[in-house]
Amino acid sequence: MSNPIIRMFLIVLGMALLGACQRDPLSQGLQALGKGDAAQARILLQRAADINPGDPSALANLGIAYLRLGQTNEALEAFRKASALALNDPRPLEFMATIAAAQGQWKLAAGHLTEAVRRDPQSPRIQTALAVAELQFLGPQAAKTRLDSVLGTAPNYSPAVINLALLNKDWLKNPDEAKALFQRYLKISRDPERVALARRALTDLEASSRIITPPPVRKPEPVKEPAPLPNEKPVAHNPQAAAEAYNRGVRSHMAGDYDRALQDYSRAVQNDPGMANAHYNLGLVFRARNELSKSRSALQQALAIAPGMADARYMLALVLRDLREPAACLAELNTLLEKNPRYAPAHHALGQLYKDDPAKRNLAKEAFRHYLELAPDGPSAREARNWLKYNP
């Protein structure tokens, strides 16, 4: 499973283009880079480097062109030359670290970044990238210490905030700290992709708190199942084995081991297809793994067995929203609130659904206000208040 912190790391390192004096063919090469024409940029920047082999700007930008063309070895050589010529500039080292990280050479990446820190000790960008590299071989506590240090001097540096939030969520298993950091990130970031990531993470954290842990609930009447196919052995129902697998799944789920939780919940429903709680928890696991269609199916199965399961209907609405089916999402939320009008998260989800439609802003206001009345200190209270503040 891919690591979201690693993805942030590559974005942090890949966002800077090195500046240069505006002269031909260097300026033409930079213009080509800006237009996304990496092939033309490579030709022009190579010409600039040939004319003036001691110009680190030409070499560094040549490295960027090679990197965009997927020519990693050539890019690395250009960055090495640029770094040797510009002894106080950390940026060629940052790109070298990007390449090392992409190849899984985390110690090498950390070495490049350590030298980059020596060149620019005050850069939160480099320190954040170094924390992510150190995570891979020194462990999460070392990464946390460095990220805490970054935020001690640059408290609004958003990449450090979201990386620390992800660290607490996925590695250190500190959900309360992770929630606070994601909420903090939402206040300071304007990056749509990362904002969506933070909101999704907050929803997942809330969902994790909704894992059903009491003894499994069965539908009292027998469940009709399709006849087995020819040569297929019917499943032997074993409620005791189902309960044991379910309880193992809950322990794995709460520990963040989604692969094992998936296996155990699946065994539970194989042994007892009427176990609504196991289907529901399967839906949570699939959603955490971003397998949204499977999550929808599992949650629908839970509701087929237990139509009054409010948490299952709420999570199904969120999955439908993630699948970009707003009409279906709205229908589930309305059904939920008809029977459970004080179910606070559903009011917040309604507000989220309405807020980007100018014709439905008043409905969004009403929904967020209902949410704040029911959950003034809820996990999304700050976000709801901020939206209402700027949308009076």
Q: Select from 368, 342, 340 the least CA-distant residue to 354.
A: 368
Could you tell me the two tokens for 49? 């480097």
pLDDT-based confidence at 222, cuts 50/70/90? very low
Q: What is the DSSP letter of 369?
A: H
* pLDDT confidence band for 220 (50 / 70 / 90): very low
For the four alpha carbons of 112, 136, 174 and 189, in that order, the dihedral sign comes to positive
pLDDT digits (tens, 9 = 90+) for 282-306: 998 898 888 999 999 999 999 999 8
pLDDT in tens, 45-68: 999 999 999 999 999 999 999 999
Q: How confident is the model at residue 238 (pLDDT cuts 50, 70, 90)?
A: confident
Give residue 6's pLDDT band: very low, low, confident or very high (50, 70, 90).
very low
Do residues 275 and 269 lie in contact, with contact meaning Cβ atoms separated by under 8 Å?
Answer: yes
Region 235-256: mean pLDDT is: 80
Nearest Cα to 314, choosing from 343, 351, 342? 343
- The pLDDT, as a whole number, for residue 5 is 41
Helix (H, G, I), strand (E, B) or coil at 218: strand
How far is the C-alpha of 62 from the C-alpha of 350, rounded, in Å? 50
Categorize the per-residue pLDDT at 200 as very low, low, confident or very high, splitting at 50, 70 and 90.
confident
pLDDT tens digits along 69-95? 999 999 999 999 999 999 999 999 999
**Which pLDDT does position 210 carry in this prediction?**
62
How far apart are the C-alpha atoms of 362 and 354, rounded to whole Å?
8
Q: Which two tokens stand for residue 109?
A: 């990446």
What pLDDT is stored for residue 23 in this prediction?
53
DSSP secondary structure of 252-309: HHHTT-HHHHHHHHHHHHHH-TTBHHHHHHHHHHHHHTT-HHHHHHHHHHHHHH-TT-
Is the pLDDT confidence value at 25 over 90? no
Identify the pLDDT of residue 224. 45
Q: What is the pLDDT of residue 241?
A: 86
Q: Which of 89-93, 127-131, 195-199, 229-233 has the lowest mean pLDDT?
A: 229-233
Query: Looking at residue 263, what is its pLDDT?
Result: 93
As a whole number, the mean pLDDT across the chain is: 84
